[in-house]
Chain A
């Protein structure tokens, strides 16, 4: 939350939260490092700018079709569930966005329930499709663009995670609650053709 507040100060070019840290970028022609540190400490102590309203919970369509979920069986086996039970379990969870990073709109999610450690694939994929939803245990992620990646993939969303033409380019934001709505393959293909529909 602190990062959204600090972002209101235009002295910072970037305010980037990590999972347990925060970084600001400034122009060293205007501020010295010690001035920047003092300023940041002040801002963290007395937020002058009203915190941005928290984002509403989001519901994201997900399709568990085996073609779109190449690691469904692997994840089910690791978790000791049947494939059908895995889908029901996953669709019933409420995740929290811990941060965006890696690529534009790529979201890291946290599951409040304790989940068996699944781990990453021993050999990362050269290409993970955009919209793929990965899970390594308590942490999940949503790939916003096609990229190399090592997270086991449980399903795929046709939603566009990042669209620079939208007033809010990223679909999700840090601290937002996310749940999934199960869709079939036909609906996936339909939405994927026109994500704005």
Chain B
């Protein structure tokens, strides 16, 4: 079976589980920027939670399929239309051969996930199939999709037709204002005390120089102390670094593996999926939690999700 790209939008890539176990070689995580929306989409079509799907960014996008297909859309899209007819998000949808699948632009939030029941063909490397554009690896030739690209996929053995709808209380709310909980980072204490307070008290705005690698945060310029420059050290998706110009940046799924700027905070695992929905102009605030509280929040979140999604993990 095939899916043909008519209009790819700003940046559409194949993304699923992140790469794991290769950061010491410099290989980033990649994978879905909003893992929760990916998992919700996969569940609606009966796929494994971290199966690969299409990650669509901000803009609208159009596709068509050549066979009867079961699919689902989650995330920030303002609508889903089949041949111009509105269909619900967060529900299993059936598309017929030649149908135009139109995914609306994001009004709030940033990314949407289109899951197809079955198995999308993608480059399989280092135990993963997500796209890492920085090294042109994985996914569809390691790059974002272009008009005319044809993606092959195999449908699951047709069991009884699955029709699901995400329970209302589990549908993430798209917003332009986010609170992300963080643990303080190894170099947080190097900030002067008033700057430490400022980092949590003030609102940050997501800047224009934002992509899957990282988001620049504007609105407040932190004055760093007169500490010696640090040695390059490990960083992860969700790490917040503060370069000498004082404008912090928040690392995304494609973040480099090491960095030389002070690591002032780390977004907690339970909230990291929100990073995938931050768009330029969005407001955000950081709230400090302890390491133990971060673990408790994560475990509570899994307890809330497992009745619907089964055993999952977030990244």
Contact = CB atoms under 8 A, between A and B. Distances in A.
B125 interface: yes
A122 to B, nearest CB: 15
A33 interface: yes
B256 interface: yes
Interface string B72-84: 0000000000000
Sorted from nearest, which 10 A-B pairs have the closest CB atoms?
A101-B258, A18-B233, A23-B234, A33-B291, A19-B231, A16-B234, A164-B125, A170-B25, A104-B27, A28-B295
A50 interface: no
Contact count band on A: 35 or more
B300 to A, nearest CB: 11
B137 A164 contact: yes
A22 B234 contact: yes
Given A15-B24, A104-B134, A162-B27, 20 more contacts: A13-B21, A14-B24, A16-B24, A18-B231, A21-B231, A21-B233, A23-B236, A27-B313, A28-B294, A29-B298, A33-B291, A33-B294, A100-B24, A101-B26, A101-B232, A102-B256, A104-B22, A104-B132, A105-B25, A170-B26
A34 interface: yes
A28 B291 CA distance: 10
Contact of A101 (B256, B292, B295, B302): B256
18 contacts: A14-B20, A17-B234, A18-B231, A21-B186, A22-B234, A23-B236, A25-B23, A28-B294, A28-B298, A29-B302, A29-B313, A33-B291, A100-B25, A101-B257, A102-B26, A104-B28, A164-B125, A164-B126
Interface string A1-30: 001000100000111111111110101110
Nearest to B123: A164
Nearest to A164: B125
A162 B135 contact: yes
Contact count band on B: 20 to 34
Interface of A: 3, 7, 13-23, 25, 27-29, 32-34, 99-106, 108, 144-145, 147, 162, 164-165, 169-170, 174
Contacts, number: 109
Nearest to B302: A29
Which of A103, A145, A147 has the largest count of B CB atoms less than 10 A from its CB?
A: A103
A136 B26 CA distance: 20
Given A14-B24, A144-B26, A32 B292 contact: yes
B134 A16 contact: no
B203 interface: no
Which of B26, B126, B134 has the largest count of A CB atoms less than 10 A from its CB?
A: B26
A16 B302 contact: no
B143 interface: no
Contacts of B24: 3, 7, 14-17, 100, 174
Contact of B26 (A19, A34, A162): A162
Given A21-B233, A29-B299, A105 B26 contact: yes
B76 to A, nearest CB: 27
A15 B23 CA distance: 7
B269 interface: yes
B233 A32 contact: no
Which of B23, B231, B234 has the largest count of A CB atoms less than 10 A from its CB?
A: B234
